[in-house]
């Protein structure tokens, strides 16, 4: 997940830098060039915000799924261990009863 975020961030930063350099080297008035750079950077910032929001939402969904799965597994494990404990108690009670019978004889 972090590799994707880093890749997207690098791609966006590279794109912004490329656009900015392209605008700087284009023949135009300084005022127009500055406006183009400002607009370009603003667009890239907006794109990055959208990507970050998307990644954040995906992370929330995934962590929610993982939490739910983990809770289910813990519940299942607890239930199984209760069953095993009850089986063990029953077995020990039978053994105890058997030993008591032998002792009485």
pLDDT one-digit tens code per residue, 3-25:
777 787 777 777 877 777 776 66
* Host domain of residue 28: 2-75
Is residue 84 included in any domain, yes or no? no
Which of helix, strand or coil describes residue 27? coil
What's the pLDDT tens digit per position in 14-73?
A: 787 777 777 666 666 778 777 877 888 889 889 889 999 999 999 999 999 999 999 999
Q: What is the pLDDT of residue 37?
A: 78
Nearest to 16 by CA among 27, 24, 6, 4: 24
Cβ contacts of residue 79 below 8 Å, gap of 6+?
none
Q: What is the pLDDT of residue 3?
A: 77
CB 85 within 8 A of CB 31: no
Is residue 50 included in any domain, yes or no? yes
Residue 74: pLDDT above 90? yes
Is residue 41 included in any domain, yes or no? yes
Q: What is the pLDDT of residue 24?
A: 67
Is residue 7 included in any domain, yes or no? yes
Residue 86: pLDDT above 80? yes
Nearest to 52 by CA among 1, 103, 101: 1
Spell 44-68 as b/e; 16+ CB within 10 A means b: beeeeeebeeebeeeeeeeeeeeee
Q: Model-level pTM greater than 0.75?
A: no
């Amino acid at each position: 997940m972090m590799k994707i975020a880093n890749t997207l961030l690098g791609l966006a930063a590279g794109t912004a830098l490329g656009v900015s350099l392209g605008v700087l080297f284009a023949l135009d008035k300084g005022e127009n060039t500055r406006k183009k750079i400002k607009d370009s950077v603003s667009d890239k910032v907006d794109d990055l915000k959208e990507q970050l929001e998307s990644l954040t939402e995906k992370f929330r969904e995934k962590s929610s799924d993982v939490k739910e799965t983990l809770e289910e597994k813990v519940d299942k494990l607890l239930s199984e261990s209760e069953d095993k404990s009850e089986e063990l108690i029953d077995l020990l009670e039978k053994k105890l009863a058997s030993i008591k019978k032998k002792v009485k004889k």
